[in-house]
Structures are given as C-alpha cells and as structure tokens.
Amino acid sequence: MPYVHTSDEIRLRYDVSGPADGEPLLMIQGLGADSRGWLAQRRHFARRYRVITFDNRGVGRSDKPAAGYSMERMALDAVEVLDDAGIGSAHVMGASMGGILAQVMAVRHPERVRSLVLACTAARHHPWRRELLAEWADLVRSRGMRSFAGDNMRWLVGPRSLRRFWPAFNALSPVFMSAPSHSFISQVEAILEMDDSMRLLLPTIEVPTLVIVGSQDILTPQCDSEEIAELIPHAELAVVRGGAHGFMVEAAGAFNRAVWSFLDGVLAEADGRDDALSA
C-alpha cells in the first residue's frame, strides 16, 4: 500500500487497482469518510479503469494532523497523490466534501482533470446547512464520533433503507466514518471557511462533467446539483431515484451504471476526436 508525503509533510495512504493501461480514475471521499466508502465502486470500475483511491488527511491510514485542512490544501493532496502514482491527469469522481475538492481541483488544476463526476455535493452554503455542520462539530466535540454516527444516519441514508437495514448501518457507520474527533471537526471547519466564490469559477470548467444526486438526498438536495449542472458548461445531470446522500453505497448498482455510461461517452468522444485528427 503506497504512501505519498505531501508538500506540507503529511503522509497520505492511497491504493491503485485495475489494468495498468486503463484510463486513470481518481475517487475522492467525503466528510469523515475514508476510501472504504468506495468499496462498491472500486471493484466495479477497476475492470476497465486504473482506479486510484486514497484516504483524505485526517481519516483512515493517512496522517491526522491538528491543522492544515483547507479545501484548497486537500484538493492539492489529491493532485500530489496523482504525482506520486505517476499519473499526469485523471477522470475525477468526488462525493460530498470530495465533490467540493473535485471542483477545486478542476478550477485550480485543470490540466490534471480529464472529466468530472460530482456526486451528492454542492457549490454554495445554505444557512440551514451551515448551522447543521456547526451542530455536528459541537456534537463530536462534546460526545465523540460514535454519537455523531448514531444520531445523524438519517442525513446519509434514505428512510426506506434506514428502516430495513438500521442494525447494519449502525454497525458499519464507525467503519466508514473513520475520522477521530479532531480531524472531523477540522474538516467541518474547512468546509465552513470556504466562501462561495468558487461557484463563480465553475463556468470556466471545460471538461465533460456528470453531476449526480439521489432523489431522497436531504443533505445536498437535488437543487444543489441542478445549480452546479447549470453553472458548468455542457454538464449532465443524473438523478438516482430512491437514493439518499450515501447512494454510492445504498444504490450502488444504479450509481455505478450512470457513471459507467457517462465515462463510456467521454471515452467515445475522445476516440472520435483522435480519429478525426489522424484522418
């Protein structure tokens, strides 16, 4: 399992799987989650793609520093993972906070991004979500991560799945939410410290983009994805019916099919351009 030492001397753990000549696909997870949140995607996409997953700073097997959690810095972490893996550019898929990092990466490091998949994410702060995230940080500060996971699963999982599979979700949530309290709080603060100016730069993104959301997502509702899709030129919007915020796990089949179809289209278009140039 390789590690990269970032330019600010933080050690990040990453994995590479899939065919060596496959198109590279970088996956970036969200708040408090480590790369195991991509379990249902890693094996599926590694049949064709060179899949790169990593643990954001503060979670999993990566270092968990006391500071250094800005969205800009964490997006640079993703770039430095690609550097260490010897990959110049990749298709980039980010979920939730990882979707914010993917947006920053596409704006600040456009030469590193071949296409974008922005899942269950947003491009602006809403007052209610600011208050919610601040409440989460206060809860974790006072009662720890296990209390957070137990009290807030309804924000991540749809009501039908929550009723049917509550014991499993309750048992697995500490696995996927692997941040210690100080890292989780630092990631929350980094999200809250980011202003909405990045939204104004989304129209500069030129790569093919899929914005995908679950119809039952109450944390980053469909309107957030609609806004992103309107701001990024030629972006596609896909809605997974019945999926909630954690739909890459809860509705993995539908999520994977939508992303696979999008990437198929991206590769077909690139092949068509190459054929036209060589003709």
Chain segment 128-177, per-residue pLDDT in tens = 999 999 999 999 999 888 777 766 667 676 555 554 444 444 544 554 56
Percent of the chain with pLDDT over 70: 87
HEC per residue, the chain: CCEEECCCCCEEEEEEECCCCCCEEEEECCCCECHHHHHHHHHHHCCCCEEEEECCCCCCCCCCCCCCCCHHHHHHHHHHHHHHHCCCCEEEEEECHHHHHHHHHHHHCHHHEEEEEEECCCCCCCHHHHHHHHHHHHHHHHHCHHHHHHHCHHHCCCHHHHHHHHHHHHHHHHHHECCCHHHHHHHHHHHHHCCCHHHHHHHHCCCCEEEEEECCCCCCCHHHHHHHHHHCCCCEEEEECCCCCCHHHHCHHHHHHHHHHHHHHHHHHHHHHHHHHHC
Q: What global pTM score does this model have?
A: 0.92
Contact (Cβ atoms closer than 8 angstroms) between residue 28 and residue 94: yes
Burial class of residue 141, CB neighbours in 10 A (0-12, 13-18, 19+)? middle
pLDDT for residue 189 is more than 90: yes
3/270: higher pLDDT: 3
273/120: higher pLDDT: 120
- CATH number of 3-278, picked from 3.30.1490.110, 3.40.640.10, 3.40.50.1820, 3.30.300.30: 3.40.50.1820
**Would you list the domain boundaries of the chain?**
3-278
24-28 vs 50-54, strand pairing mode: parallel
Separation of alpha carbons 141 and 125, rounded Å: 22
Separation of alpha carbons 274 and 71, rounded Å: 35
Separation of alpha carbons 240 and 252, rounded Å: 10
Q: Over range 204-230, report the average pLDDT.
A: 97
**Span 47-86, pLDDT tens digits:** 999 999 999 999 999 999 999 999 999 999 999 999 999 9
Q: How far from the centroid of its chain's Cα atoms is residue 225's Cα?
A: 14
pLDDT for residue 254 is more than 70: yes
**Span 11-22, pLDDT tens digits:** 999 999 999 999
